[in-house]
Structure 1
Amino acid sequence: MRNLDLTSLRSFVAVVESGGVTRAAKAVNKSQSAVSMQLKRLEDLLGVALHERRGRQNVLTEAGDQLLVDAKRMVALNDEVFARMTDHAFEGRIVLGVPRDIIYPIVPMVLKIFAAEFSGVKVQLISSYTSNLKENFKKGEIDIILTTEAELDAGGETLKQTSLRWVGAHNGKAWCAEPLPYVSDRYCIFNSPSLRALKTAGISFEMVSHADSDRAAEAMVAADIAVTTMLEGYHPSHLECIDSKGKLPDLGVQKVNIYGPLQESDYAQRLMDILRKTVQDI
């Protein structure tokens, strides 16, 4: 029993569909001579001519027409089986927790790289406050978390130290007002160090609002109604770090930390490596 060569059948289909050996060679990533040899070998194996000259055109013979139908089906079946057998759709699942203030630009960059390498691993993203993420991590409900905090807990790793900055509207004047109008998400971890710094510096301030979300706080800051505090490099493009010429107190630095599972799978380890590099490169 003789066996048909799928590579030759693929080249044969490519020649017919593309209209010639030159284009077919590019489609199957082979040289023109290699494709021509495959077609000749296929004809020799079957003992029939697959093409014939009609005037200036090279057309399929009756045998070629018959083979084309079966060749397409065989190539398609081959590709279907290969895709199914090598599909890692159920390779795994991992839960990643990231604070809202550093979602951008970190997460899109990380997920894009990770998805290209582990298309079969599903990543569930949870965005919340550092305190909530750490609590859920301890319960085992989240596999890997990034945090923004002043200190590092046991089992964690500091990836970067970033300045905490006063942030306002572009060319805004709210920071010049007395008392200083301040707004923030009521659960933001930066509230305590920011307000403590104002009190220490003897600067009067007014809590314009305890917003229920960071987006609501951003809206008030963008309207130049108040100022807030964010990590340098992670503030949205419609806001800017304030250069107060020393009028507002320095807020020091905060750590971007990572916590992961004690026993890491290959893909969990790789995700942590991508997170490390991305955070450190920003």
Structure 2
Amino acid sequence: MRNLDLTSLRSFVAVVESGGVTRAAQAVNKSQSAVSMQLKRLEDLLGVALHERRGRQLVLTEAGDQLLVDAKRMLAINDDVFARMTDHAFEGEILLGVPSDIIHPIVPVALKRFHAEFSSIKVQLISSYTRVLKDKFKKGEIDLILTTETNLDVGGETLKQTALRWVGARHGKAWCVEPLPYVASRYCIFKNPSLQALKTAGINFEVLSHVDSDRAAEAIVTADIAVTAMLEGHHPEHLECIATKGKLPDLGAQKINIYGPLHESDYAQRLKDILGNAVRDI
């Protein structure tokens, strides 16, 4: 199987559209002799005459008319593929900060949708505590952040208010123990309001340990050694919200806020919109 040369086809189309070899040579940035040679090679390859002389005019033969239609289509496909594969207009990177306690199920859903629309954009996910993320955002180190907090700072937007719930092991009994065993990571933003709620309700409690990560606290809760506080709908499947029947105080609600993006771009704004929809759909 022999292949048609796209460069020769481009010269052939230029000759037809410009009305002659001289103008075509200028259009494709080649010499007249080079263009004439390309036309001759096409005719030799196909075994047909593409042009014929009628007086001083060079007109297409029937075979030339047919090739012109196919050549334009082939060149259009070539140019479209090349443009799409080499178009770097939307390449870039977004630094997204999200507290670890709300990564699931928000982030997987949002990133999947975003990647389908902007596959060439790299999203670097930074997981940390709300106060750390807000500090980095103020310093310009992160483009876009989600937070969990009771208030909203200037420039932010509240996407949803979600109940803060007591959480324990599935079918666990730790919440019935006195004093109430409680665990949370050292920097958990829900720790202080949870302990304050217990104090206000006059419930004795014991903070088992000040662990350094949410996963460590989660392990202790999973073992039914203690309880903790998490946003409703964001706890792991192996834990459950405790139906305390009034034995433990209500923890109120927390805001899920979004700040940014710091730089204006279509893709950054689109990621913000997708995150907002993902939060609201939970």
CA apart distance, 1:200: 0.1
Matches within 5 A, 1:44-83: 46-47=46-47, 78=78, 82=82
**Stretches of structure 2 lacking an aligned partner (at least 5 in a row):** 7-44, 49-73
1:46 to partner: Cα distance: 2.4
* CA offset digits 1:7-41 (Å, max 9, x no partner): xxxxxxxxxxxxxxxxxxxxxxxxxxxxxxxxxxx
- Three-state SS of the structure 2 residue aligned to 1:273 is helix
Structure 2 partner of 1:201:
201
1:204-239 per-residue CA deviation (whole Å, 9 max, x = no partner) reads: 000111111111111110100000000000000000
Of the structure 1 ranges 256-265 and 182-191, higher mean CA displacement relative to structure 2 is found in 256-265
Report the identity percentage.
Answer: 78
**Greater Rg, structure 1 or structure 2?**
2
Is 1:170–1:238's contact at 8 Å kept on the other side of the alignment? yes
**SS at 1:202 equivalent:** coil
Name the residue aligned to 2:136. 136
Partner of 2:163: 163
- Pairing of 1:166-177 with structure 2 (within 5 A): 166-177=166-177
Q: Distance in 1 between matches of 2:136 and 2:281?
A: 28
Q: Is the 8 A contact 1:87 1:120 kept in 2?
A: no
For the pair 1:265 / 2:268, whether they are aligned, the reply is no
User: What is the root-mean-square deviation in Å for CA atoms of aligned residues?
Assistant: 2.8
- What TM-score do the two structures reach when normalised by structure 1? 0.72
* Paired letter, 2:253: V
CA deviations 1:46-70 (Å, max 9, x no partner) are 249xxxxxxxxxxxxxxxxxxxxxx
Compare 204-213 and 227-236 and name the one that shifted more: 204-213
**Counterparts of 1:249 and 1:117 in 2: how far apart (Å)?**
44
**What does residue 255 of structure 1 align with?**
255
CA shift for structure 1 position 261: 3.1
Structure 1 residues not aligned, in runs of 5+: 7-44, 49-73
Cα distance, 1:89 vs. partner?
A: 8.3
1:181-200 deviations in Å (ceiling 9; x for gaps) = 00001100000100000000
SS at match of 1:276: helix
1:228 counterpart letter in structure 2: T
Residue 192 of structure 1: SS of its match in structure 2?
helix
Matched, 1:216 2:216: yes
Aligned to 1:70: none
Distance in 1 separating the partners of 2:85 and 2:187: 48
Give the aligned residue type for 2:243. Answer: D
Shift of 1:178: 0.3
SS in 1 for 2:237: coil
| Structure 1 residue matching 2:234: 3-state secondary structure | coil
Q: Which runs of 4+ in 1 moved over 4 A?
A: 3-6, 78-81
- Aligned positions, number: 218
Query: What amino acid maps onto 1:236 in structure 2?
Result: P
Tell me, yes or no, if the aligned pair for 1:98 and 1:128 is still in contact at 8 Å: yes
> Which runs of structure 2 are paired with 1:109-124 in the superposition (5 Å)?
109-124=109-124
Q: How high is the TM-score relative to the length of structure 2? A: 0.72
For residues 103 and 89 of structure 1, what CA distance do their matches in structure 2 show?
29
CA distance in 1, matches of 2:254, 2:98: 15
Residue deviations 1:123-159 (CA, integer Å, cap 9, x gap): 1110000000000000000000000000000000000
Letter in 1 for 2:210: H
Letter in 2 for 1:186: R
* Paired residue type of 1:94: I
User: Aligned partners of 1:191, 1:79: CA distance in 2, in Å?
Assistant: 59
Structure 1 position 119, deviation (Å): 1.1
SS in 2 for 1:106: helix
Query: Match of 2:51?
Result: none
